[in-house]
Structure formats: C-alpha cells, structure tokens
Amino acid sequence: MPRTDILRAVETSAGSMGLAEKGFLWAFSWLDTRFRIQDYWGMSKDAYHHMHRQMPLTHAEKYKLRIIWYWYPLYCLGGISFLAFVILVISGTVLGLYYVPGGEGTPSPAYLSMEFIMVDLPFGYIMRSIHHWTTHFMVAAVFLHMCRVYFTGAYRNPRELNWLIGVALMFFTIFFGYSGYLLPWDSLAFGAATIGINMASSTPLVGSWMAKALFAGTTLSGQTVTRMYFLHVFILPVLVTGLILAHLFIVWVQGIAEPH
Ligand code: HEM
C-alpha cells in the first residue's frame, strides 16, 4: 500500500485507531517510502514460495539423469576406506605399545608378545581383532571404491591424477595388510613370507635388491620381521597418510564427478 493511502487511513480512522496503532502505521509508512520494506518483503515471500512449491528434487531429477539413484551409497566407499584407516591407526598404536618386533629364536619375541596380547593383556584380544577385521574391511572398501570410480567414469579428465594416486593407495593398502600379516611370526606368517620373498626375488633385474630391501636378506631370517615391522609402522603409514591427504585435497578442489 502506498504511503499516501496509509496516511489517509490513519487520518480517516480518527477515533477508531489508538495512538500506538497510528504511531506504528505512520512510522512504517515513513520507513517504507525510504527502504521499500513492502517490496522486499513481497520479493522474499515470492522467492520462498517459489523454492518450496515442491519437494526438493533428487540429484537424478534435477539433472534429468536416466540413472541410478541406487549408486549413491557407493559414493560413501572412499569415506569408509578413510574411516577404516583411522580405526587401524588407533588400534595399531595400542598394539604397538605391547608388540616386540624380534624374529630370532623359537618362539620368537614377536610371537610371544602376540601371545601376551591375546591371552594376558586386558582388551588385547579385542584390540587385535578390531585391527585384523578392519584391515579386511579397508581392503574391500578400497577395492569397491575403485570399482565405483571406474564404473561411474569418474577417473576421466580432470581426475586422472587422483586415479593414479588411488592406484598407489590400492597397492600400499594391500602391502600394509601383507606386512602386518607377517608380524606375529607364526607358521602362517612364515609361509606367507616364503611366498613373498620368492616373488620379490623373481622381480626382473632388481630381484635380490628387492628381497634385501623388503625382507632384510635374500633368505628369511629373524631380521625379516623387524624389517616388516619398520615398513608397517613407519614407511607405509607416512606414505599412505600423505597420499590420502593429497587424494582428499584433490577431491576437495575438484568436487565429486557428476554422474552422467
Ligand atoms: C586408502 C584408500 C582410499 C581412500 C581413503 C580414498 C578416499 C576417497 C574419497 C573420500 C573420495 C570422495 C568420493 C568418494 O568417497 O567416493 C575419493 C574419490 C576418488 N577416488 Fe579415492 N580413496 C582411496 C583409494 C582410491 C583408489 C584405489 C582409487 C582408484 C584407483 C581412487 C580413485 C578416486 C577418484 C578418481 C576419485 C574422484 C571420484 C569422483 O570425483 O567421483 N581412490 N576417494
């Protein structure tokens, strides 16, 4: 309502309007002619009704996609991998307080310390189980995350670099699991180490160097478990943490790929 109309209403209502009402309307019309209060109020009401006219659209509706709302939970798999990594760091730190990385003798200090964690240490059994099962969980999540990225085509320009970082992460995640598997230094670990050292030794050209770097020699020894321990608790955590941070930073900069 224009200011003149408001003022006329104030004057003609004479006795029927109290002083407070008259004062309010006069002040309102004075402000309205200067700050367009009614206009802006109307505009924001229009905007509100425009936005809330219907239920919010789903992503697939908004972009007129013929696919795949049922893919969306799979977009959590990278986050799930990250969560698993955090749980592994925490539970691994607790295990590291009691584990002894020595492979000499039978039984070895490594084996005895695992036995201590499993049998004597309060909550040791559950801590090791959490570490063990979260490893399986992480390997599965990383693999499925990679499948999601592949099947939604999210590896394409401009995300090639993040795919390559992901390939390194997949490799290091598996190697993380393998190096941990050897640490109890029981017969299972010894068997797995035998396969591993043979694989490393048969690398073309650099086989013996590879065996020495990863297994602390061209044959298995008490040193092997100490070397695996160092890889497991220092080299790999530093590499994987750095790569995950770079990976997530790139996701943050580029945003998630739109499905199409
Ligand atoms: C430690 C392992 C990994 C972690 C913690 C991780 C974490 C993440 C997270 C949180 C995202 C955001 C989107 C989502 O969650 O789906 C993402 C996206 C992405 N990841 Fe990974 N990832 C890992 C391994 C991998 C692997 C193995 C690959 C492929 C070889 C990969 C390639 C990508 C690509 C290309 C994107 C961008 C996808 C898009 O924009 O939709 N990542 N990652």
> What's the per-residue H, E or C state across 98-158?
CCCCCCCCCCCHHHHHHHHHHHCCCCHHHHHHHHHHHHHHHHHHHHHHHHHHHHCCCCCCC
Identify which has the larger pLDDT, 55 or 13: 13
Q: Whose CA is nearest to atom 25 of ligand 1?
A: 166
Helix 124-151 vs helix 160-182: crossing angle, to nearest 10: 150
Our answer on whether the CB atom of 143 is closer than 6 Å to any ligand 1 atom is no
To the nearest whole percent, how much of the chain has pLDDT over 90? 67
Identify which has the larger pLDDT, 5 or 66: 5
Asked if 125 and 118 touch (Cβ cutoff 8 Å), the reply is yes
CA-wise closest residue to 138 among 75, 180, 79? 79
The confidence score (pLDDT) of residue 64 equals 73
Which contacts (CB < 8 Å, 24+ apart) does range 90-96 have? 91/127, 91/130, 91/131, 91/134, 92/131, 92/233, 94/127, 95/127, 95/128, 95/131, 96/233
For ligand 1, mutation pick of 135, 147, 243, 247 (most atoms within 8 Å of CB): 247
Our answer on whether the CB atom of 163 is closer than 6 Å to any ligand 1 atom is yes
Q: Kindly state the average pLDDT of the residues 28-49.
A: 87
Over the stretch 80-100, which tens digit does the pLDDT of each residue have? 999 999 999 999 999 999 999
Identify which has the larger pLDDT, 112 or 260: 112
b or e along 22-39 (b: 16 or more beta carbons within 10 Å of the residue's beta carbon)? eeebeeebeebeeeeebe
253 alpha carbon to ligand 1 midpoint, in Å? 13
Collapsed DSSP state (helix, strand, coil) of residue 227: helix
SS3 content of the chain, % helix, strand, coil (to 5): 75, 0, 25
CA pair distance 146, 154, nearest whole angstrom: 10
For ligand 1, mutation pick of 59, 137, 145, 239 (most atoms within 8 Å of CB): 145
The confidence score (pLDDT) of residue 260 equals 61
Over the stretch 116-174, which tens digit does the pLDDT of each residue have? 999 999 999 999 999 999 999 999 999 999 999 998 889 998 999 999 999 999 999 99
Helix 160-182 vs helix 187-201: crossing angle, to nearest 10: 130
Identify which has the larger pLDDT, 75 or 6: 75
Q: Whose CA is nearest to atom 31 of ligand 1?
A: 166
The confidence score (pLDDT) of residue 237 equals 98
Task: Inform me whether the pLDDT recorded for 175 exceeds 90.
Answer: yes
Q: Whose CA is nearest to atom 29 of ligand 1?
A: 166
To the nearest whole percent, how much of the chain has pLDDT over 70? 92
The confidence score (pLDDT) of residue 52 equals 65
CA pair distance 94, 131, nearest whole angstrom: 10
Please, is 91 exposed, middle or buried when counting C-beta atoms within 10 Å of its C-beta (0-12, 13-18, 19+)? buried
The confidence score (pLDDT) of residue 55 equals 58
8 alpha carbon to ligand 1 midpoint, in Å? 68
